[in-house]
Amino acid sequence: MLNYIQDLLIPPYRYSSRYLFIVTFLLLPISNYTKSLEAQTSMEEDNVVERVVALVGDSVILMTELDEYLLTLEASGWARPDDPNELLTVKTQVLDQLVNQQLILLEAIKDTTLTVSEVELEGRVQQEVDGQVRQFGTTNRFQDALAEQNMTVAQFREQRKNMIRRDLLQERYFAKSGTGDDGVIITEEEARAFFEENRSQIPQAPATILFENFILSPVANDESKAEALAEAERLLQLAMLGEQTFAEIATRFSDGPSAQNGGELGWIRHDGSMVPEFEEEAFKLSPGRVSSPVETEFGYHLILLERVRGGERRVRHILIEPDILESDIEAAEVRAQSFVEKLGSGEIPTDIVAVTPDTLDLALGQIAEISPEYAASMVTAQAGDIIGPIELTGPRMENSWGIAKIIEMKSGGSSEFEDVRELIEERLRSIRGAESLIEELRNRTFVEIRLLPTDSS
């Protein structure tokens, strides 16, 4: 329930006049985003002159940025007011938020301890691309939607990457600055007032399902693994000869998605973001050294450590995946069926495959987004039911089987104050801290607003 309510409080709402006018561009689907692009393109074709509407330190905010923000609001359902004075008020509020964002970004950029790794960025961008492909149904439809706005997938990825980097830097600056200080006391009256003023923004809590999720994937046979290891060792010798760079070898031979970038993974930390075997080896290497083949669940890796920066390592890698044969796929299906039978009889089927389940608590409506294959079966499921094995699709899920054991079904209903009290208090503490921080930044940073009364159209 708390996860659901937290999701409710994070998306963009227009809070009552006491609170900030918050909009989050990242949460808009591409269909809305392309509407904004279309309108912006129209403005550019009409030769709208760029005009500065605010100065923030040594940076500027342009009228086109303000207009794009408003277009983003419209794409998410906001209705532009007919009253010029009301529209000017909205523009002033939005510009104020753009100034606040820029103040935070400028400070975050100055702080060299705040970083966003390429691995994290690529992962988040890929999640967005995968989400858009699911929304449009196929990759081709997604590409067509972008093409209508004169964009390629590569351009979309780069644009999203820059925006995600910006937002993560801002988020980490807020976190480091302690804007959510637990020392700030929020009274019950304040929390209730916030709840009542924004109650209309909180829809009914959906029905949710708590379940254990098991994934069984084909396992390469010993012969395929031996061949993959031999190929990795051959490429290691090729790298040692020095006739080709590691990046060139990765581009030609790696099976990993980073092959097109010469195996580049960017800066990584020893924080569990990579599989354990990979991380351990990467942090043992000296700069310029290439590892021996490292076996992980994905195959065999050769790791090149390029640079060291504090607790970070800049690495490239080559991945050689063992071939999965038809017999391996058939064996996985047999294991999955046996797994279901033993799970149904109350056994812990560790003799079939060593697997640790994920315990998930999701709204029923989210199931289709995460696993379309589960959706139909879970709608009518009851506690204790076992669903599967279901053949999965999607990146790195080919020929894998999913099994779910239902723990609890929860009915939906209206969200009451006690359901959201803890998160409202947390949000109010964050707002107080953010307001205090922004006030401090405004006091020591030059800010000039150049919005005019004539900008009410």
* Domain that residue 283 falls in: 225-320
**71 and 165 inside one domain:** yes
Question: Which helix (H) or strand (E) covers residue 334, if one does?
Answer: helix 326-344
The half-sphere exposure of 207 on its side-chain side, counting CA atoms within 13 A, is 11
CA gap 242, 226 in Å, rounded: 25
**302 and 437 inside one domain:** no
Task: Tell me the average pLDDT of the chain.
Answer: 81
254-304 pLDDT per residue, tens:
999 899 999 999 899 888 888 999 999 999 999 999 999 999 988 999 999
Q: Are strands 299-309 and 59-62 parallel, antiparallel or unpaired?
A: unpaired
**302 and 350 inside one domain:** no
- How many domains, the chain? 3
**289 and 430 inside one domain:** no
Lowest-pLDDT range, 226-240, 305-319, 399-413? 399-413
pLDDT band, residue 241 (cuts 50/70/90): very high
pLDDT band, residue 350 (cuts 50/70/90): low
**234 and 289 inside one domain:** yes
pLDDT of 24 strictly over 60: no
Taking the CA atoms of 329, 333, 339 and 342 in sequence, report the sign of the dihedral they define. negative
Domain boundary, last residue among 290, 305, 320? 320
For residue 210, what pLDDT is reported?
86
**339 and 446 inside one domain:** no
Lowest-pLDDT range, 22-36, 53-67, 125-139, 250-264? 22-36
**136 and 261 inside one domain:** no
**229 and 243 inside one domain:** yes
Q: Are strands 299-309 and 294-296 parallel, antiparallel or unpaired?
A: antiparallel
Residue 49's contacts (CB-CB under 8 Å, 6 or more residues apart) are: none
The DSSP secondary-structure symbol of 254 reads -
Question: Which residues are bridge partners to 299 per DSSP?
Answer: 296
User: Which residue has 């031979």 as its token pair?
Assistant: 253
**13 and 94 inside one domain:** yes
Q: What percent of the chain is predicted at pLDDT more than 90?
A: 29
**260 and 277 inside one domain:** yes
Cα radius of gyration (the chain): 26
The tokens for 424 are 């409202």
Identify the residue with better confidence: 245 or 149.
Answer: 245
Cα→Cα distances 308→271, 312, 314, 375, Å: 15, 6, 6, 45
Question: Exposed (0-12), middle (13-18) or buried (19+): which is 272, by Cβ within 10 Å?
Answer: exposed
Domain boundary, last residue among 320, 339, 362? 320
The half-sphere exposure of 215 on its side-chain side, counting CA atoms within 13 A, is 12
CA gap 425, 185 in Å, rounded: 9
pLDDT band, residue 79 (cuts 50/70/90): confident
**337 and 372 inside one domain:** yes
- Provide the 3-class DSSP secondary structure of residue 179: coil
The enclosing domain of 234 has a CATH number of 3.10.50.40
**56 and 149 inside one domain:** yes
Domain boundary, last residue among 298, 320, 342? 320
Residue 338's contacts (CB-CB under 8 Å, 6 or more residues apart) are: 349, 352
Cα→Cα distances 270→265, 288, 310, Å: 14, 19, 11
- Highest mean pLDDT: which range of 23-32, 240-249, 380-389: 240-249
421-443 pLDDT per residue, tens:
888 888 888 888 888 888 999 99
